[in-house]
């Protein structure tokens, strides 16, 4: 090889090296437009596919430089499929995330007090959860799904989400049952789950939950009917398959094993999936002689120990309703 050819080759290499260093410094120091993107890498996608899609989404500015840095880091076979969130990341941070598989965590929020059917409807409409036809044929019992916030990655199987909910419910319920009040007149943690579901539907106010539990437990001790409106609604909706907006007086006579106006004791099963506060209230209620409660018109309830006081509270509520109709 002639000296001049050798010199030209080295000059080319030098300028190429210098250019790449310049690109890297520019990428690291000079920030481009601000962005936040979620980006999906599917299994078996090639480096060309990934770099092309990153460029189309304007997450990277230069496909060639991205591929060069991947090869330089010996990372081509280490890129992991998944969904990623990039927020003003430089090229080294982007490569690092994909190499480590730091997938974007999606959020699934399940409110307290929903039925299992309502929870399944939320999951079915949630993007990124894979559901097979056979999954929907599996029977999911009322009350076995714990309401909470769950994090998952794109492509998570439906059964993983459901099993996590069941495990959380078992953990919370068993722990509450083991630490229950020693005088609790319930036979099993399943009874506690049923009672907690009633409490959940009766009030959304945490400071009231132990009072509602006290009322129901005192009634059970005296063999009084619980007379819980949500149990009537649940029975009607289970039989009709339709949501009922308003409970009427005639509905209280609706024949159902859940109807606590017609049947003594707890209903035959839970009427929703209760949260932790309701479960704790069911296993550690407040102590006292409360037997009645009625809505106060302000989102809460008035409680009483005798029927005479209860009737006065009912009249207060009726007055409140009439005044607010005007």
Are the C-beta atoms of residues 127 and 107 closer than 8 Å to each other?
Answer: no
Does 106 score more than 80 pLDDT?
yes
**pLDDT: which is higher, 78 or 10:** 78
Is position 143 within any domain? Answer: no
Does 246 score more than 80 pLDDT?
yes
The Cα 237–Cα 249 span in angstroms is 16
Report pLDDT digits (tens) over 179-226.
Answer: 999 999 999 999 999 999 999 999 999 999 999 999 999 999 999 999
Q: What pLDDT is attached to residue 16?
A: 52
Question: Which structural domain, as residue segments, surrounds residue 42?
Answer: 24-100
Mean pLDDT of the chain, nearest integer: 88
Percent of the chain exceeding pLDDT 70 equals: 89
Is position 227 within any domain? Answer: no
Percent of the chain exceeding pLDDT 90 equals: 60
Q: What pLDDT is attached to residue 267?
A: 97
Is position 221 within any domain? Answer: no
Confidence of residue 5 (pLDDT cuts 50, 70, 90): low
Q: What is the CATH number of the domain that holds 32?
A: 3.30.1490.480
Is position 80 within any domain? Answer: yes
Tokens describing residue 2: 């002639």
Domains contained in the chain, number: 1
Is position 222 within any domain? Answer: no
Report pLDDT digits (tens) over 130-144.
Answer: 998 787 777 899 999
Task: State which H helix or E strand residue 37 sits in.
Answer: strand 36-41
Is position 248 within any domain? Answer: no
Does 24 score more than 60 pLDDT?
no
Report pLDDT digits (tens) over 115-166.
Answer: 999 999 999 999 999 998 787 777 899 999 999 999 999 999 999 999 999 9
Cite the DSSP H helix spans in the chain.
3-29, 47-56, 63-72, 91-100, 116-124, 158-178, 189-202, 206-221, 229-240, 276-283, 307-323
Is position 52 within any domain? Answer: yes
Is position 39 within any domain? Answer: yes
Place of tokens 């090889």: 1
Are the C-beta atoms of residues 203 and 113 closer than 8 Å to each other?
Answer: no
Are the C-beta atoms of residues 149 and 105 closer than 8 Å to each other?
Answer: no
Confidence of residue 256 (pLDDT cuts 50, 70, 90): very high
Pairing of strands 129-130, 156-157: parallel
DSSP 85: E
Report pLDDT digits (tens) over 264-300.
Answer: 999 999 999 999 999 999 999 999 999 999 999 889 9
């Amino acid at each position: 090889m002639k000296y001049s050819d050798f010199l030209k080759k080295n000059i080319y290499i030098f300028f190429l090296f210098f250019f790449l260093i310049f690109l890297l410094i520019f990428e690291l120091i000079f920030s481009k437009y601000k962005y936040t993107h979620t980006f999906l890498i599917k299994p078996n996608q090639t480096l060309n596919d990934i770099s092309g899609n990153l460029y189309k989404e304007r997450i990277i500015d230069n496909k060639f430089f991205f591929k060069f840095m991947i090869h330089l880091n010996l990372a081509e076979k280490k890129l992991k499929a998944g969904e990623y969130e990039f927020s003003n990341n430089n090229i080294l941070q982007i490569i690092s995330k994909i190499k480590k598989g730091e997938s974007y965590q999606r959020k699934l929020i399940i409110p307290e007090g929903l039925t299992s059917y309502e929870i399944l409807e939320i999951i079915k409409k949630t993007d990124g959860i894979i559901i097979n036809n056979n999954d929907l044929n599996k029977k999911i019992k009322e009350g076995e799904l714990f309401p909470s916030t769950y994090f998952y990655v794109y492509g998570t199987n439906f059964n993983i989400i459901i099993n996590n909910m069941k495990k959380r419910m078992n953990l919370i319920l068993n722990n509450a049952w083991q630490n229950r009040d020693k005088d609790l007149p319930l036979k099993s943690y399943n009874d506690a789950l049923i009672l907690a579901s009633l409490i959940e539907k009766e009030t959304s106010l945490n400071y009231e939950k132990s009072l509602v539990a006290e009322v129901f437990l005192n009634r059970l001790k005296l063999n009084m009917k619980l007379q819980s409106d949500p149990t009537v609604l649940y029975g009607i909706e289970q039989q009709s398959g339709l949501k009922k907006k308003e409970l009427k007086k005639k509905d209280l006579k609706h024949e159902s094993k859940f109807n606590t106006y017609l049947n003594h004791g707890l209903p035959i099963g839970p009427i929703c999936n209760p949260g932790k506060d309701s479960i704790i209230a069911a296993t550690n209620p407040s102590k006292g002689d409360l037997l009645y409660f009625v809505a106060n018109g302000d989102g809460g309830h008035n409680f009483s120990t005798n029927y005479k006081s209860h009737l006065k509270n009912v009249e207060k509520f009726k007055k409140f309703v009439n005044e607010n109709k005007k």
